[in-house]
A and B are shown apart, each in its own frame.
Chain A
Amino acid sequence: MQPYLDFEKPLIELETKIRELKQYSTTDTSFSSEIEKLEKKAEKLHKEIFSKLSRWQRTQLARVPGRPFTLEYVNYIFTDWFEMHGDRLYRDDPAIVCGFARLEGEPCAIIGHQKGRDTKEKVYRNFGMPHPEGYRKALRIMKMAEEFELPIFTFVDTPGAFPGIGAEERGQAEAIARNLREMAGLKVPVITTVTGEGGSGGALAIAVANRVLMMEYSIYSVISPEGCAAILWGDGGMAPQAAEALKLTAQDIDALGDVIDDVIPEPSGGAHNDPEAAAKNVKEYLLKNLNELKYLSPDELVEHRYQKFRAMTRIQE
């Protein structure tokens, strides 16, 4: 069973009861109407819970441990994948995976944050928090994609760039800044999908794209709700309030009108309930967006990307 969240508890209890009844019903058919009734109830409860999720609950969904990560999307969506390692300067950063593969037969580059499943892998992947070498590896692969005229797909799912001594020493800020500038000049199509957590500069450093898509239960924010709460409320425990104020859900950001291009629907209850179906939706949106960008020349792609971010402004009249 998938790990579940607090607000899903009544639903999980109901579903467990249905499962138990179903086991008995193989020997006793008198349960069948009861099961039907409970299933209807479960369906209603599910709708109820998911139709009025708070922003904090959506944040928890975006972080749910069973959510598909970049390598799963790669597995479901692309073929012919091989991974590339290292920034050629310091080391390989497992918190960002890079490589090449084919989308419907066409070669492309893939870059994405990678979290871990079990404790050991979580530590290995540093919880999806890259060091500068991760961003420098990503840039190396993006430049390579540009050289060989391949479109770039990036997948964003990080709490943020890692705040540590080594990261600072090796220029975390410089690595992120350089990516922002260099991505702006890439002469190939760049399409970003925020699959889980879009954690501030650490997310943006691989997300200066022609098209930015967000999964239905993903978030994208300048700071984590916990961090925002600690600074503005003086109490990290006020994260639910901070999440409300930050308006960080895919729906909030879509409503701004000019930051993202599409919200990709997820299977009922979230991508973790059916990763394959989630990946199928992602693939559909990637193909649609790539097709629309195909008609732009290299210079037009750069201009298109520049104008997209250039327009993001809110001024008091």
Chain B
Amino acid sequence: MAWFKKSKAPLPKASDKKVHMPEGLWTKCQNCQEIIYSKEIERNWNVCPKCDYHFRITSQERLDLILDKDSFVEMDVELKPKDFLDFKDSKKYRDRIKAAIKKRAINEAVICGEGTINELPVMVAVLDFGYMGGSMGSVVGEKITRAIEHAIDHRRPVIIFSSSGGARMQESIMSLMQMAKTSAALMRLKEMNLPFISVLLDPTTGGVTASFAMLGDINMAEPRALIGFAGPRVIEQTIRQELPEGFQRAEYLLEHGMVDMIVRRSEMKDRISQVLRMFFKS
């Protein structure tokens, strides 16, 4: 999603970044390096009890955390991405799709549907970073657009949880166009005076940040989440300068006026509920 200078050193693939999930009996926190009993982390919202580091969680875990029990009704479950360009790098896109579906047991990198938060009906979309880095191709764009249009038709607030490397390269120009499509849908939502909460999670960059994720009436972020337009490596290579401490972290965005609040995972549901009730009369 950005202009790269030719580099000799190969960049690690965004999608290869290990999502540090607590597994096994003990987990080493990647932030404070403490070895912690896994159950203790799980009980603590997948947040490190020693240093407050927020581990990445799956989209399903996110929904469980935010929505009232058994309230979620998923929409557009069947929609799968299409390799309409026959895109091939070291792997074929169609094989990457198959692998992602198998790995994550979902058809695309976003889950959308209706549910309730403390009994308030909402439309919710959660990007799944484990599915091709949560990247936005035309089906992700389509599902998010449909979710927003559904919210308009049924007068529901919209909440989108973003964690994404940006637009999906394998769908080239069609991925780019999803930025316009989703943002246009938000224009309509705004005209209908329906609130939109964007929650930016670790990490949110590129074409997702530069479209719907930055357009919340309220932008929330989890502590220390990496949020930006260009990735830090790209910036470093372009300006050949070391980046300041904490650059592009949630706290930095709060300081520079890009997000309204940083919300800890344990408080997320109640905070969203509080905010929505301020603006939304059902």
Q: Which of A102-110, A181-189, A280-288, A289-297 contacts B (4 or more CB under 8 A)?
A: A181-189
Please state if B138 and A314 are interface contacts (CB–CB under 8 Å): yes
Q: Is the CB of B169 within 8 A of A222?
A: yes
Known contacts A163-B238, A315-B142; A171/B172 CB under 8 A: no
Q: With A164-B235, A181-B183, A314-B82 known to touch, is A230 a contact of B173 (CB < 8 Å)? A: no
Closest A-chain residue to B258, C-beta based? A171
Contact B258 A181 (CB under 8 A): no
| Residue contact A180 to B138, C-beta cutoff 8 Å | no
Q: For residues 236 through 279 of chain A, which have their beta carbon under 8 Å from a beta carbon of chain B?
A: 236-237, 239, 241-242, 245-248, 253, 256, 259
**In whole angstroms, what is the CA distance A125 to B156 when docked?**
45
Contact between B187 and A310, CB atoms less than 8 A apart = no
A309 to B2, CA, bound (A): 22
Query: Complex: how many Å from CA A181 to CA B190?
Result: 10
Q: Count residues on chain A whose CB falls below 8 Å from chain B CBs.
A: 69
Tell me the minimal C-beta distance from B260 to chain A in angstroms: 12
Q: Is A38 an interface residue (CB 8 A)?
A: no
CB of A165 within 8 A of CB of B184, answer no
Residues of B participating in the A interface, judged by any CB pair closer than 8 Å: 1-8, 10-11, 13-14, 79-82, 84-85, 87-90, 97, 138-139, 141-142, 145, 167-169, 171-181, 183-188, 190-191, 206-207, 209-215, 228-230, 234-235, 238-239, 241, 243-244, 247-248, 256-258
Q: How far is the CA of A232 from the CA of B168 in the complex (A)?
A: 11
13 contacts between A and B (CB under 8 A): A162-B3, A172-B229, A172-B230, A181-B183, A184-B184, A201-B167, A202-B3, A227-B2, A230-B4, A231-B13, A256-B173, A313-B139, A314-B171
Report if A48 contacts B (CB, 8 A). Answer: no
Instruction: Answer whether residue A178 sits at the interface, using C-beta atoms and an 8 A cutoff.
Output: yes
A41 vs chain B, min Cβ distance (A): 36
Contact residues in A for B247 (Cβ distance below 8 Å): 165, 168
Residue of B nearest to A241 (CB): B89
Interface of A (DSSP majority class): helix
A159–B184 Cα gap in the complex (Å)?
Answer: 24
Minimal beta-carbon separation of A192 from chain B (angstroms): 11
Which residues of chain A come closer than 8 Å to B184, judged between CB atoms? Answer: 180-181, 184, 208, 305-306, 309-310
With A163-B3, A309-B180 as known contacts, state yes or no: A259 contacts B230, CB within 8 Å: no
Does A184 contact B1, Cβ atoms closer than 8 Å? no
Closest 9 CB pairs of A and B: A163-B230, A234-B10, A227-B4, A184-B184, A180-B183, A160-B3, A232-B89, A173-B209, A316-B80
| Contact call B258/A232, Cβ cutoff below 8 A | no
State the Cβ distance, B233 to closest chain A Cβ, in Å: 9
Q: Give Cα A184–Cα B180 distance, bound, in whole angstroms.
A: 8
Q: Which of these, A169, A184, A231, contacts B183 with CB under 8 Å?
A: A184
> Residue among B10, B145, B180, B181 with the most chain A CB within 10 A?
B180
Between B13, B14, B173, B179, the greatest number of chain A beta carbons within 10 A of the residue's beta carbon is seen for B173
Contact A170 B256 (CB under 8 A): yes
What 0/1 readout, one digit per residue, does chain A (58-92) give for beta carbons within 8 Å of chain B?
00000000000000000000000000000000000
Indicate if A146 sits at the interface (CB-CB under 8 A): no
Smallest Cβ distance from A179 to chain B, in angstroms?
Answer: 9
Interchain CB contact under 8 A, A314 and B167 = no
Instruction: Kindly list 8 other residue pairs between chains A and B, CB separation below 8 angstroms, not including A164-B230, A174-B214.
Output: A160-B2, A161-B2, A164-B235, A169-B256, A173-B209, A227-B1, A230-B11, A236-B4
